[in-house]
Chains A and B, each alone.
Chain A
Amino acid sequence: MNSRNRITLLIVTWTVLVSGLHAYLNINWPAIINDYLPQEKRKFTVAYIPVTCHLACPVTDYISKFSKAGEIFLPKMFQGFPEIKEALISNRVQAAFIVAPLAIALKAQGVPIRVVYLGHRYGSAVVVRKDGPIKTFADMRGRVIAIPSRFSDERLILFRAMKVFGIKPKEIKMVEMAPPDVAGALAAGAIDAFSMGEPFPSQAEMGGFGRVLFNAREYWPDYMSCVLVVRQDMIDQSPDAVQVLVDGIARSGLWLEKGKPYREDAADFVGRYYFNQNPALLRWALTKPLDRVMYSPLAPRKADFDLVRDLMIETGVLDQKIEFEDYVDLRFADHASIRTAWAYEPGGAQAQ
């Protein structure tokens, strides 16, 4: 064999080997096949990030696989909100769990989406270093605090606390960080505090380097953070599919409220198969105490959203008074209200 043939053979072998391994190991075939199915059979792709605010998404996916109707949608995990936003804008995902202010801001900027449901209530906290200089919120002056996005309730909760303590916006420095990075940044001393959804406050607590300064509900009694948004074209083209999705999330929320064993089971399978987090961490976040995060009631409420919108305008991240009816579609939540929890027992092989 001359050298040219040898090189050709080498290149061909390499290409085949690498492509084969890639196809076998990396490619998510159901997602690719889904793109080529006819419209009525095609499934949604629903984006989420590994926080308990979005827990109902993987829970629904996991349990629905045991049901007769089978899985409802294709879940897709992201690591931060900017990526989800881009996927949503470019129609790579049709529905997503995002923070409520981001949903309002995107709609105000002309992205065709609607809020159809909430993801959870409560479950965000402000965490400081355990032996650090911040003892009360008044010590927060001049400190650096991480937030998931400028369009987040985790940021707004800080402003609410700042009002109580008479701290001016310029006195605290907020930096935007991907949620999975904050616990490490706090441990390394790169930030003084963070305001995030679970399980990252729990992660800092479990790791022994963080202390919850306050939970969101202390300054915001009906706190809600992440919401489920769906692209308008999906709502118009297949409202039934959207209804099935919302029903599934509603049933998962009720299921998660059935008690501790159910939450522990959710922590187990979500940690293992979805979030790629230690199940013990999720167990901590979901059960210490049980109402740290709540998954019912999840129907959007005008008063909550008006509060978020007004805070956004007040803190300079929204420039128009967009109305609740313009960015929320309530009919799916209304229908979902008759639903009951999944009939699924931990470890079981059937769901209804």
Chain B
Amino acid sequence: MSNGLVLRLWEEWFWPVLAAGIFISFWYFSVKWSGSKVFPSPLDVGAGISELATKGLLWRYVLDSLRRVGEGYVSAIALAIPSGLLLGWYPVAAAVVNPTIQILRPISPIAWIPVSIVLFGVGDMAAVFLIFLASFFPVAVATMNGVRNVPSMYRRAGRNFGLSPSKLIARVVFPAALPQIIVGLRIALGVAWLVVVAAEMIAVDSGLGYLVIDSRNSGKRYDLVVAAMILIGLAGLGLDSAFRRIEKMKSVRWGFRNEF
């Protein structure tokens, strides 16, 4: 910790749980005191979640969403990292393609929904395609910039050791660019999780996004809507902390020039 404050082991759990508890009780009492007949209290939402669990929908929906994110995300990475490496390695290619990428990049994947339904119909593929789009650009751009920022000293040293260009990329440039790539990967995962929820609201009939829209369509069931929102948050938290674990692995940290 930069400010010298060190949490003891029990505190690492205690304070976050306390904060969440305060938030939930604030929620509970606001619902109670405002006398809202529409917005559910935490107890209603808890009952909603257990209703989903007993119906067997809970895990199915969470896993469906995770699977879609996995498919789109992995295929995006498989394409984005090589193309990012190439573009970073050949600045001329980057100069040619970059303006197009910069135009495509700020288009929200949600805006692609009509196009993806036309291309892939209503179904899994449409949703996976949106996640692919959402993950591709952050990773490709981060990889490209990462490769560009590798100090030329590294490359020259590699060449002096007689590495062939392909080995130089695999053994020196890629690891050196990895810190920036990882930032891109993490951003992409966050965006992919945002997008899967939106995509599932339209294209498919399972998953957490579908749960939100399905609960909305079933009349006054805002307990289920909020339950779905909380599940989305929890699953997103799970994804992010899993990613942090990977980030901390030794082999990944090779390229971190400044320990932070």
Contact = CB atoms under 8 A, between A and B. Distances in A.
A188 B117 contact: yes
Interface stretch (B188-196, B212-220, B228-236): B212-220
Interface string B194-235: 000000000001000000000011111100000000000000
A150 B118 contact: no
B121 interface: yes
Contact of A89 (B117, B218, B220): B220
Interface stretch (A66-74, A105-113, A201-209, A322-330): A105-113
Interface string B108-120: 0000000001100
A191 B219 contact: no
B121 A151 contact: no
B122 interface: yes
A10 interface: no
A127 interface: no
Nearest to A83: B216
Given A188-B117, A190-B117, A105 B122 contact: no
A3 interface: no
A82 B201 CA distance: 13
A85 interface: yes
Contacts of A191: 122
Given A90-B38, A110-B37, A190 B121 contact: yes
Contacts of B218: 150
Contacts of A102: 219
A144 B219 contact: no
Interface string B87-122: 000000000000000000000000000000110011
A28 B49 CA distance: 40
| Interface range on chain A (Cβ under 8 Å from partner) | 20 to 34
Interface residues of B, number: 13
B121 A175 contact: no
Contacts of A86: 216
B220 A106 contact: yes
Interface in A3-22: none
A85 B117 contact: no
Nearest to B218: A150
A235 interface: no
A132 interface: no
A158 B221 CA distance: 25
A149 B217 CA distance: 7
A150 B117 CA distance: 22
A219 to B, nearest CB: 24
B213 to A, nearest CB: 8
B220 A111 contact: yes
A185 interface: yes
Contact of A189 (B121, B217, B221): B121
B117 A105 contact: no
A85 B118 CA distance: 29
B114 to A, nearest CB: 8
A151 B38 contact: no
Interface string B64-86: 00000000000000000000000
A144 B217 contact: no
Interface of B: 37-38, 117-118, 121-122, 205, 216-221
Given A85-B219, A150-B218, A185-B122, 14 more contacts: A89-B38, A90-B38, A102-B219, A105-B219, A106-B219, A110-B37, A110-B220, A144-B122, A150-B217, A151-B219, A175-B122, A175-B205, A190-B117, A191-B122
21 contacts: A82-B217, A85-B219, A86-B216, A89-B38, A105-B219, A106-B219, A109-B219, A109-B221, A110-B37, A110-B220, A150-B217, A150-B218, A173-B205, A175-B205, A176-B217, A185-B117, A188-B117, A189-B121, A190-B117, A190-B118, A190-B121
Question: Which 5 residue pairs across A and B have the least CB separation, nearest first?
Answer: A109-B220, A190-B122, A105-B219, A188-B118, A109-B219
Interface of A: 82, 85-86, 89-90, 102, 105-106, 109-111, 144, 149-151, 173, 175-176, 185, 188-191
